[in-house]
Amino acid sequence: MKFVILTDTHFVARGRKIYGLDPAERLAAAVDCINRQHRDTAFVIITGDLAHWGEDAAYENLADVLSGLNAPTMLLMGNHDRRDAFARYFPGVKRGAGGFVQAMQVFDEATVVTLDTLNEAAPNHEGLLCADRLDFLEQALRSAPTDRPLLLFQHHPPFDTGLCYMDTIRLANPEAEWEVIARTRRPDYLFMGHLHRPIAGIWNGIPFHIQRALAHQVAFDLETEGHIPGSHEPPDYSHVTVAGGQIVIHQCPFLYAGPRFSLHDKAALDGLLER
């Protein structure tokens, strides 16, 4: 099974920009690259912050760009999203108990569980897993087939990463999520967004991957407090292959327009050395 991960698209109304960037242009470029290079993609998953302000016009714009994608999509909620506005433009996305946008899908090679960590009542942007969402997670972990990897997707990380301000708006109740996991089953991989940086590691024995944003990035800065340092570092998407219990992740800088050459070509080597 092959799939593609994007995150933090931060869409706004058509024709508008955010922090000097047009998310629609970037996503259209990603869609074109995925359609050309990954025709066997089972799905494309976007792990939250689909829109920046959560307004109808942003989701209309997003739906229009995604209509050009050949693969099916899975869409998660992030702290900038609004469920009702999202649902008006993506009516086919199922909503579970409490109206939360989360689901479990079983594929031949893996089970995919998506969580909704959006807390629309939060005074800041931290995430939350309420009782209904924790119940869903427990049922999913208990019922998922045990003969294939279980992949868990959510927007907010349940742990600190050293990005000072972002650590104040992670998942607000990580201990509750861990308690459910500890008494049921550990996911084989945890995929997240929210931080606008490529980060990997292990949380309580679970390997995790945090995807770089499609829109603006958070600068690599482990000292600044009180605000979020941003940057225009280039985006990428991740191409994931799951086969025979093995999981391989490639990060793909789809906007790269520089030279490509063979490392076995002596002329190319000499030419680069002369620069």
- Residue 100, pLDDT above cutoff 70: yes
Given pLDDT bands bounded at 50, 70 and 90, which one contains residue 272? low
| CA separation for the pair 30, 36 (Å, rounded) | 10
C-beta atoms surrounding 240 within 10 Å? 22
210 is in which domain, residue-wise?
2-273
Residue 223 has pLDDT above 70, yes or no: yes
Whether the predicted pLDDT of 228 surpasses 90: yes
Max CA separation in the chain (angstroms)? 63
247 CB burial (10 A radius; 0-12, 13-18, 19+): middle
Q: What is the CATH number of the domain that holds 130?
A: 3.60.21.10
Cβ-proximal residues to 119 (8 Å cutoff; 6+ apart), any chain: 79, 126, 127, 128, 172
Average pLDDT, rounded, for the chain: 96
Residue 213 has pLDDT above 50, yes or no: yes
Cα gap 223→162, rounded to integer Å: 8
Using alpha carbons, list the distances in angstroms from residue 176 to 78, 135, 274: 19, 11, 57
pLDDT at 275 over 60: no
Q: Residue 161: left if φ>0, alpha if ψ -120 to 50, beta else—which one?
A: alpha
Provide the pLDDT for residue 188: 99
Find out whether 215 and 19 touch, Cβ atoms under 8 Å. yes
Query: pLDDT tens digits, residue range 34-72?
Result: 999 999 999 999 999 999 999 999 999 999 999 999 999
Indicate whether 194 pLDDT > 60: yes
DSSP state of 88: H
Distance, CA of 246 to CA of 61 (rounded, Å): 36
Higher pLDDT, 215 or 274: 215
Mean pLDDT of 185-211: 99
Do 11 and 28 form a contact (C-beta atoms < 8 A)? Answer: no
Q: What is the mean pLDDT of residues 193-216?
A: 99
Residue with the larger pLDDT of the pair 3 and 266? 3
pLDDT computed for residue 273 by the predictor: 54
Q: Supply the pLDDT for residue 267.
A: 81
Look at the chain and report how many structural domains it folds into.
1
Structure tokens at 118: 């959006």
Residue with tokens 């760009």: 65
Do residues 23 and 15 lie in contact, with contact meaning Cβ atoms separated by under 8 Å? no
Per-residue burial over 91-126, b = 16 or more CB atoms within 10 Å of its CB, e = otherwise: eebeeeeeebbbbbeebebbbbbbbbbbbeeeeebb
